[in-house]
Structure 1
Amino acid sequence: MSETDLEISQISFYLGKQNTEFRDIVETETDLGSRKEYFKRAFELEGYPCELHYFESEIRRTNPKWLDFLNAQIPDDKQIVFSAMSRSPNALFLVKFEERVLATSFGRSATTYLKKDSLENDFGIRTAMNMCGNEEIRQTKSQSNSIAITHIDRQMSRPSDTFVFGLSEAEDLKYISANMKGNALITLQGRDRLTFKGLGTEKLSWDKLLNRCQEFLNAYEKDDFKDLFPNYRNFTPATMEQVEFLDAKLIDALKAKEFDKIQICIPEFIADDEYSFAYSNKPKQPNDIYSHLDVAQINDHIKTEKLSPNILKNRDIFAYSHAEDKILNYKKWSLYNCLIFEADLNGTPFILSDGQWAAVEKEFFDEIEHFVQNQLTTADCPDNCKNIAINDDTDKKNKEEIFNNTACELNNDWVKFDRAQLKIGKGRSDKEFCDILSMDEDAVSIIHCKPLKNASSINYLFSQAKFYGDAFLQDQVFLDDIRNFISKSKCTRKADYLAHINDKVEDIYAQNYRIRLWLLHDTKQPKTANDLPFIAKYELMLMHDHLKRICKFREIVLSFIPVKTVNYKTRN
């Protein structure tokens, strides 16, 4: 066999976390060793320990659905019956460089035997960003956290820079495919794993493999990506050792009942009016139902002395549907994944969010804190909007809708847009524009309200303000619906609003409008911008930058509105 035949043009690499061994990354040999034709070999390459696992997988294939569909028109004695055994080879190859293990997989099934918790989840994308730069990009995948989370896939006909791709800082970069700097024969694709594609003389041979692996490891440790890709979040996954110390800080805070330092929330946006929550779903015993989540509730369900990371990970929070009057077993989240906690470890700030600990780059952390302290405008609200009771004793819920209704009844020169059912473009008539529209001396205020419950609801408020702010300045259909809604309202100053809001979208000037963000909090728990979760501060900064610098709105003002709430607890 020639040397060319021993070259490979595509291969994917996974990186084990620091100080892991082969056994920490590969599933137990009890599982892997039971596979057909399993074979293991340990050896060395240039002094580096290596391990090879080989096995074969079999799948019996029978009639596909389309063949059963066609058989309905064929007589029983002539029916087609398909059966075949598909067999394929699979392998895992691992090599250890001092404190790091690189793993590669071959075949369809091999990857399933890698322990995902023992692998770095940013190895591929960080390495690709550092080795490729931002000038020869072929494809990106990103996520925009707007009202509806949007997954954006961009691909160019030829390698281009990030400016041409139109990447926004408001997008989270999830995947990149690009030419390696100075070498168009090599393409790197990065997400959790790094995929190498080499053409011609850049195909990989055994002689080149170890050198490439060391290049990848060196590139992963660099910080070049921070300047090249500002839309890649500045969070570094915590090591297993760091997680152990950080989890201990979390448990200490829970045992000490330092609930002001911990937040609890569902790690996705969920309609507050439709669901309550439960910490259990016992079929034959009563379950406590809570109108909203509070960290202190954990003490009612887990004894203090039994608190541990594993207990938190194995306990679930369930959604209770008011419409169905039952706890939904399929709609649940790990209690650990619902906690948000910020802690300092050896001078580095860390955040627990959605079950993952991550270190925040100090420069990035300081930038956001500087924005909150020095650039963010905060203000009080009108006195008659303070201490409004928003509890609904019939539904056992605290409702934002009650606040909006009461505030507009107390201020009859305001327009209530909550649940307005407006249309944007050719979409459905299910948009709001805002919750309340008010007239200031120098501008019209577009007010968005949301209960201060958790990071998800806060981020939704910021996304809502950005989404509707853009549509107001750009969409004629939306503008027509806004003006029509005002004209039909009972507001005492609707003529003034209509005179201020021009009827043509090209005549709408953002400088004539102020965006107000109202976060409703319980009167017994005063809040300031410093109390917002770090992730929410980050989203606030992005939203503020977009609406103020790009859209040119006059001002973005954050207010904390005290309201009276009731923490309902019922039995199901």
Structure 2
Amino acid sequence: MKLNVVAYLIKEGYEEADIINPKKNARRIGVDINGSINSLYIKNAKSKPKWSEIFTIHPNVDESIFYSESICGMFLVKAHSRLIAFTFGHAKSLLLPHVIQRGFGLRVSLNIGDSEQIKSIDKATLDKVALKTRSQTSKNTNVSDFDFEFDHEILKSISAVVETDDDELEIVSGYDSVSLYTKVSLEELPKIADRIMSAYESDKYLSSYPWVDFIQSVTDPETISNLNDRIIHNLDSQNYESLWIACPEIMDYGDFSGFVYTTRAKKGCSVCMHPELDLELYVKEAKLKFPTSIEALKRKQVYAYNSAEMQVKSWSLFRCLNGEVELEGDIFVLNDSQWYRVERKFSDSVNEYFKHLPRSAIDFPPYGTLTEGEYLRKIADGENFALLDQKWIYPQGIGTRIEFCDLLSQCNAFIHVKKYGASSVLSHLFSQATVATELLLNDASVLNQVNAHLDDTYLSVVFDKDKSPRTHRVVLAIMHKKQGEVHLPFFSKVNLRHHSRRLQNMGFTVELAKIDA
């Protein structure tokens, strides 16, 4: 019989008695395979669909006809001194979540799947980590045809034809669990367990996917708990060196009056507003109690108020919290409530690129308490800087409007400006610069529209896409009140490198700038 068999690997150190969820009351049956006793766990349940309530209120309808019995099963096999749990139906619930070896299915799939016969991939971007997409093709192909950008995307799962010497079609996929479409019988299950364990222990995947371990989301409950404990320890000891808070969403600073840490104010007084987020100030003003906990951080709120001093947004403090932690030799990054493990070599290469990216020599005046839009309008004198913020251009064929940049300088710099924020906010800045520059090269109407916005200034853009080297450069400027060198969250550095390389491949010099308060 051929079917999809699903398997989970149990973490080292756990025995059978440690992994079964006692709340499920599953029945154990001993199964002898070639003299070895294996455990089969069966769970029966009766349920009725929610929609049945529409009809059961009628006296002529017997409620019992809507009940159906479901059954799920889990079969345990030892392979390479580890427990493998084969699940049938919805039997994952029979396992305690913390005993599952995370990433097992992805590694097996990468090792036994044919890298030239991939059917689909699931990925998450670092521009907006919450954005998860599935890509599939009409025919089997390799990973390059999926437009997977390994330097700023995370591979979540893969489905591929199994690499085999015979004509028997097998398909493998997975992330935490592995799903293998193959011939299955009771006697074959121990052999399948040995096969997938051998695949898990192999590092063959590194030859075809050397980038796959660069960044991985952390899903193991024990690791997450340890990392959260580190964050709490740093907060309790008021060590903010590797912790900060940032707005997790892109803000409309044209309709913004400030961030608020607590909505409690003295009688007759308004709430205290802050133009930027600051963790130390938050702790004092919101009266965060120590020792604290992750649950407390999730209950505490950060508020955003519009220009009419009305609350328009709020986020949990934990969602705004960013951090970088070293644990057992690995680097872990907290971003938008999610932990990620970063390979050390990859982390070093990203930080090295950031360190050597040219800093702009443009002398930006401080912004004080001004919002982004107010600051841009103030310094745009039409001679040293021309204002292009909120000056829309309409590229041909894309059906949407964009800003070409925020400022044009008299020294031929396309300047993109953004107030410091979370990775997704700063990544939006870098993406805007790349999109605008690509349109300048590929759409002749863009140059004319930009110059039309510059008619009442002393500046203009004289640009020939065929001329090399480029006379214009791209400056990415970040407004931040923190003193010293510009600081970026790790994932912002990853995206900065990605977009800077794209701009450099177009022939443009890329520079980073910090605008102080």
Q: Equivalent residue for 1:204?
A: 184
> Which sections of structure 1, spanning at least 5 residues, go unmatched?
1-6, 68-82, 392-398, 564-572
Q: Equivalent residue for 2:407?
A: 436
Q: Equivalent residue for 1:76?
A: none
**Pair 1:464 & 2:464 matched:** no
Cα root mean square deviation, aligned: 4.0
Q: Equivalent residue for 1:362?
A: 344
Kept in 2, the 8 Å contact 1:421–1:429? The answer is no
Kept in 2, the 8 Å contact 1:455–1:535? The answer is yes
Determine the C-alpha separation between the residues in 2 that align with 1:256 and 1:450: 32
Q: Equivalent residue for 1:39?
A: 27
Offset at residue 136 of structure 1 (A): 2.0
Letter in 1 for 2:47: E
Q: Equivalent residue for 2:87?
A: 105
Q: Equivalent residue for 2:458?
A: 493
Letter in 2 for 1:234: F
Q: Equivalent residue for 2:391?
A: 420
Letter in 1 for 2:27: F
Determine the C-alpha separation between the residues in 1 that align with 2:253 and 2:85: 44
Kept in 1, the 8 Å contact 2:275–2:369? The answer is no
Which residue, out of 253, 256, 261, partners 2:237?
256
Q: Deviations over 1:392-412 (max 9, x none)?
A: xxxxxxx21122112212x52
Letter in 2 for 1:306: P
TM-score normalised according to structure 1 size: 0.75
Kept in 2, the 8 Å contact 1:433–1:482? The answer is no
Determine the C-alpha separation between the residues in 2 that align with 1:140 and 1:511: 38
Deviates more, 1:271-280 or 1:292-301: 271-280
Determine the C-alpha separation between the residues in 1 that align with 2:9 and 2:319: 24
Paired residue secondary structure (1:480): helix
Determine the C-alpha separation between the residues in 1 that align with 2:274 and 2:96: 37
Paired residue secondary structure (1:260): coil
Which residue, out of 182, 185, 188, partners 2:169?
185
Deviates more, 1:9-18 or 1:114-123: 114-123
The 5 A counterparts of 1:194-273 are: 194-198=178-182, 203-230=183-210, 232=212, 234-236=214-216, 237=218, 242-243=223-224, 245-267=226-248, 269=250, 271=252
Which residue, out of 416, 426, 430, partners 1:448?
416
Determine the C-alpha separation between the residues in 1 that align with 2:181 and 2:106: 15
**Pair 1:307 & 2:272 matched:** no
Q: Equivalent residue for 2:445?
A: 480
Q: Equivalent residue for 2:62?
A: none
Kept in 1, the 8 Å contact 2:80–2:194? The answer is no
Indicate how the Cα distance of structure 1 residues 272 and 230 shifts in structure 2: closer, same or farther if over 3 A, else same.
farther
Indicate how the Cα distance of structure 1 residues 142 and 303 shifts in structure 2: closer, same or farther if over 3 A, else same.
closer
Which residue, out of 47, 54, 69, partners 1:58?
47
Offset at residue 112 of structure 1 (A): 5.2
**Pair 1:345 & 2:339 matched:** no
How many residues were matched structurally?
501
Determine the C-alpha separation between the residues in 1 that align with 2:351 and 2:338: 22
Kept in 2, the 8 Å contact 1:281–1:327? The answer is no
Offset at residue 559 of structure 1 (A): 1.1
Determine the C-alpha separation between the residues in 2 that align with 1:493 and 1:414: 9
Indicate how the Cα distance of structure 1 residues 160 and 407 shifts in structure 2: closer, same or farther if over 3 A, else same.
same
Paired residue secondary structure (2:176): coil
Q: Equivalent residue for 1:515?
A: 474
Paired residue secondary structure (1:557): strand
Q: Deviations over 1:294-328 (max 9, x none)?
A: 2211344455532234543x424354453896657
Indicate how the Cα distance of structure 1 residues 509 and 233 shifts in structure 2: closer, same or farther if over 3 A, else same.
farther
Paired residue secondary structure (1:167): coil
Offset at residue 287 of structure 1 (A): 7.8
Q: Equivalent residue for 2:301?
A: 317
Offset at residue 493 of structure 1 (A): 3.0
Kept in 2, the 8 Å contact 1:422–1:482? The answer is no
Kept in 1, the 8 Å contact 2:97–2:221? The answer is no
Offset at residue 178 of structure 1 (A): 0.7
Kept in 2, the 8 Å contact 1:513–1:553? The answer is no
Letter in 1 for 2:458: R
Offset at residue 188 of structure 1 (A): 0.6
**Pair 1:14 & 2:3 matched:** no
Indicate how the Cα distance of structure 1 residues 114 and 326 shifts in structure 2: closer, same or farther if over 3 A, else same.
farther
Letter in 1 for 2:495: E
Offset at residue 366 of structure 1 (A): 2.2
Which residue, out of 480, 494, 497, partners 1:538?
494
Indicate how the Cα distance of structure 1 residues 272 and 402 shifts in structure 2: closer, same or farther if over 3 A, else same.
closer
Kept in 2, the 8 Å contact 1:62–1:84? The answer is no
Letter in 2 for 1:434: C
Paired residue secondary structure (1:52): strand
Determine the C-alpha separation between the residues in 1 that align with 2:10 and 2:274: 41
Determine the C-alpha separation between the residues in 2 that align with 1:344 and 1:63: 52
Kept in 2, the 8 Å contact 1:167–1:231? The answer is no
Letter in 2 for 1:52: Y
Offset at residue 508 of structure 1 (A): 7.9
Paired residue secondary structure (2:500): helix
Q: Deviations over 1:518-566 (max 9, x none)?
A: 01111x52233xx3222222111111222213xx232111111212xxx
Offset at residue 98 of structure 1 (A): 7.6
Letter in 2 for 1:9: L
Letter in 2 for 1:154: S
Offset at residue 262 of structure 1 (A): 0.7
Letter in 2 for 1:214: D
Indicate how the Cα distance of structure 1 residues 244 and 225 shifts in structure 2: closer, same or farther if over 3 A, else same.
same
Q: Deviations over 1:385-435 (max 9, x none)?
A: 2213343xxxxxxx21122112212x5253322112322344455311211
Letter in 1 for 2:502: H
Indicate how the Cα distance of structure 1 residues 485 and 280 shifts in structure 2: closer, same or farther if over 3 A, else same.
same
Offset at residue 272 of structure 1 (A): 5.3
